Structure 1
């Protein structure tokens, strides 16, 4: 992570930084990124819960996973989770839409990824125009290719979560096992495809506004 030092922080500090972005009558977007297993989904959901529905809503990048049948046609199913297995243009258009929503604008609906079926459900998350802070999380918020920079340009702050590598690997194995993989399959994905993605994602950390390790 050249060019960016890791800052130790408590969850309460994250809540206060996020609260400072949630200004009623304005629209701000906070992004959380990091390698697979960094804790993005958990931290993002906990932040939104701590702020409450009047101040924050979560619209994750994972809702833009390409469908399995599309990945099969493209020959990419075996590396699902790589940057080119997402609808990056669709994600950028969502972030642009919520950025320009305005306090009197229409509701914008975001998709949700369901891990138990490994597919996305469209129009599952309503983003109300009155909610000042949209929290989004995903692996590729700081990528500089394809449509990812369009999304980044609309995000006020991006925080890169950087737990210790062994903690991240352990979380990944448990996650894969929880969704039906054998211990051997879980380790194969965590140390194979996930780790290749992690190396690419970690190279983007220098573009983050904060690089954080939760204490």
Structure 2
């Protein structure tokens, strides 16, 4: 059973540092941050990396988002999956798992990480990097704890995984705002948030008990 905490960012950074201090053997630890759409995962993960870099120097921690593994829109159109973008089957899951393994084990060379640009709704190759001197990788995404192949292999790569918990009303408000800012009408934004995002949230919520820690009550800004 996971423990629920409501600490500030500094206390979470202390926990992340402890993963590095307790790491044994070659390679580097990976910390996962997961949760439902709109829960604040990206804000928490990027703020955590920024604070750790402030404490230890630039590049000490690196951010690795699962969103960089969205299938391209043309591929989703070909597969008939565009109307479910964000669901399990709309990601390059095997590619994501392979990159996590590289980030955990390859310390002698840079490991480039794709990102995701919401303005064009597409992935961006080599958006960030896990440098040879990076001590901790913070991997963030919806499905880090899902117990079905190949996603089930993700948990084995992570030294720890935290579940970001936010109230349903707050999540819905964030999602409607996000979808509206990126081009949907308010009506279409709410429909997508309740149906597509809502269906994905049910899958993710079922994985909550596999988390090492549930982080609740952290002050998050609305997600971009």
Shorter chain as denominator, the TM-score bin is over 0.9
Matches within 5 A, 1:197-208: 197-208=200-211
Q: Tell me, which stretches of 5 or more residues in structure 2 are unaligned?
A: 219-224
Give the superposition deviation at 1:190: 0.9
Give the superposition deviation at 1:5: 5.2
TM-score for the superposition, normalised by structure 2: 0.89
The answer for the alignment partner of 1:40 in structure 2 is 41
Compare 162-171 and 144-153 and name the one that shifted more.
Answer: 144-153
Ranges of 4+ aligned residues in structure 1 off by more than 4 Å: 23-26
Contact 1:30–1:136 (CA<8 Å) still a contact in 2? yes
Matches within 5 A, 1:120-131: 120-131=123-134
2:174 to 144, 162, 171: 171
Distance in 2 between residues matched to 1:181 and 1:19, nearest whole Å: 40
Distance in 1 between residues matched to 2:4 and 2:171, nearest whole Å: 16
The answer for the alignment partner of 1:75 in structure 2 is 80
Q: What RMSD, in angstroms, separates the aligned Cα atoms of the two structures?
A: 1.6
Compare 149-158 and 77-86 and name the one that shifted more.
Answer: 149-158
The answer for the alignment partner of 1:9 in structure 2 is 7
Give the superposition deviation at 1:177: 1.2
Q: Tell me, which stretches of 5 or more residues in structure 1 are unaligned?
A: none
Distance in 1 between residues matched to 2:169 and 2:7, nearest whole Å: 19
Give the superposition deviation at 1:6: 3.2
Give the count of matched residue pairs.
211
Contact 1:67–1:120 (CA<8 Å) still a contact in 2? yes
TM-score for the superposition, normalised by structure 1: 0.93
Distance in 1 between residues matched to 2:124 and 2:145, nearest whole Å: 24
Give the superposition deviation at 1:26: 5.6
Contact 2:59–2:131 (CA<8 Å) still a contact in 1? no
Distance in 1 between residues matched to 2:3 and 2:52, nearest whole Å: 27
